[in-house]
Amino acid sequence: MANKYVDFVSDDVFLEEIKRVMDSYPDNAQEIPSAIDLLKNSEYGLDEFKIMFDLCMNDISFEEWVKAETIRQNGKSVENKMGEFHQRLLGRVDGWHDLGTGDNSHVDLRNDDGTIYIEVKNRYNTINGGSGKTVRDNLENIVKDNENTIAYWAYIIHKNYKSDDVIWEKKNYENNERIRRISCDKVYELVTGDPHALKKTFRAIPIAINDILGTEREFSQEDKKIIKEYEDHIFDD
């Protein structure tokens, strides 16, 4: 029987990884804190000066600002889970391993025969100068110790949705054909062999969420039109 969601992992695996992300969302019944409680207790260190600008420039009340800020803060937890989602999902494809933390390579994924290693990030701008150096040094060490290995810095979200697989050119490092930068569709294609695997994952998410929640939510015709236009823009065909 064909898989319902994607064809590169089982339905049970896909549902499990979708649910991990879902669980990072707060309960819909979560109480919105009072403005003063949020201001005093926020773990993110709110910028009180920006708050004044937000209230005045957007002509909103403190109550409206608190609701928006609560959603923004909860979004940080979800954003962190998204990188894990891609790493864990790709790591469960046959022939691949999610290396988790503590592996000597200090990267995220490896194929069975050790010819490909991948450090997976969710967004192109996730790493800054310092963390970028750490990633590059880890990849340098991998190819130095394994002469038949290619090491990748991969990210799913590119600033212009461009899918590429190129030599990673980085200041103060020599270019190396075996140290590469790869993005978007090509990340999933590298692991699954399917150039459309990322699009299939995108399309399967709402189906899986409905199944987990036991709902039959349908996008409106207008939303479907927007999603279709968005797909045509972000995915290679």
Domain ranges for the chain = 31-79, 93-192, 196-237
- 16 vs 53 pLDDT, higher one: 16
d(CA 75, CA 14): 22
| Mean pLDDT calculated for residue range 116-143 | 88
60 in helix, strand or coil?
Answer: coil
* 165: amino acid identity, one letter: D
In the structure, what pLDDT confidence band is assigned to residue 154 with cuts at 50, 70 and 90?
very high
In the structure, what pLDDT confidence band is assigned to residue 65 with cuts at 50, 70 and 90?
confident
HSE toward the beta carbon, residue 44, CA cutoff 13 A: 13
Instruction: Provide the mean pLDDT of the chain.
Output: 88
What was the pLDDT predicted at 32?
64
In the structure, what pLDDT confidence band is assigned to residue 82 with cuts at 50, 70 and 90?
confident
Torsion, Cα of 61, 62, 63, 69 (10° steps): 120
Q: Kind of pairing, strands 116-123 and 150-157?
A: parallel
**Model's pTM, two decimal places?**
0.86
Which of 162, 86, 157 minimizes the C-alpha distance to 124?
Answer: 157
Which of 174, 106, 178 minimizes the C-alpha distance to 144?
Answer: 178
d(CA 182, CA 98): 18
What was the pLDDT predicted at 202?
94
Task: Read off the tokens for 8.
Answer: 């590169």
d(CA 23, CA 1): 29
43 pLDDT higher than 60: no
In the structure, what pLDDT confidence band is assigned to residue 80 with cuts at 50, 70 and 90?
confident
* Cβ atoms within 10 Å, residue 45: 6
